[in-house]
Structure 1
Amino acid sequence: MSKHQGAPMPDSLRHWMRAKQHPARSVNCPHCGAIARRPCTTPSKRRQLELPHPQRVSAWAQTTACCPDCQVEPTTPCHDEGRARTTVHARRYQEAEEVAA
């Protein structure tokens, strides 16, 4: 019995998929422990995920951009009226994406 496989992926698409990585892969993932430039993994460390964990995207935005909401510099965590946040403000994600573009 033969295995049925789909149509082969065109080389042009394969190259784009390899080259196109989320900029958050430039930092370590605080969720799964993936090091910079390596993809995030599942808890069993077996499967590589296409998209980075939200915690990694937040860490990347914190490293990359100033926050328009709480006016902190890159690397400084966001806060709400002096209380630390576990993630960055949505507008900081937008700023980081503009910096990366």
Structure 2
Amino acid sequence: MTRYIAPMPPQLRQQMRANQDPARAVPCPHCHAPARRPCVLRKSGRHLPEPHPQRTSAWAQQTACCPACQVEPTIPCHDEGRARNTVHARRLQEAEATA
């Protein structure tokens, strides 16, 4: 059986990219999904509709300054000198506002 596959029109491809979560721009530190690919469940391999919270934090850290602790992009957030595992909520809001 021969299957014919038509190329995707450029307008549709752009629309699909626009609908993706901006956090997909960075690899996921939790499930190790590469950039621009959806997060997956480790055991089943099922694709998730939303990125892991760790990926969202990594994206915000890469793209925005933090108004709470005054650090520049790529530098992790901290609380009075103590490192945080996630970014401050205000940094996430900054990143979403620029996306």
TM bin (shorter chain): 0.7 to 0.9
The CA deviation at 1:46 is 2.0
User: What residue number does 1:27 align with?
Assistant: 26
Aligned residues: CA RMSD = 1.8
CA distance in 1, matches of 2:92, 2:58: 10
Q: Which runs of 4+ in 1 moved over 3 A?
A: 14-19
CA distance in 2, matches of 1:16, 1:47: 25
Does residue 36 (structure 1) correspond to residue 38 (structure 2)? The answer is no
CA distance in 2, matches of 1:52, 1:16: 20
The CA deviation at 1:18 is 3.5
Unaligned regions of 5+ residues in structure 1, if any?
1-13
CA distance in 2, matches of 1:66, 1:45: 36
Normalising by structure 2, what TM-score? 0.82
User: What residue number does 2:65 align with?
Assistant: 66
User: What residue number does 2:74 align with?
Assistant: 75
* Cα offsets for 1:42-88 (capped at 9, x unmatched): 01252110100000000000000000000000000000000000000
Letter in structure 2 aligned against 1:30: P
Identity %: 67
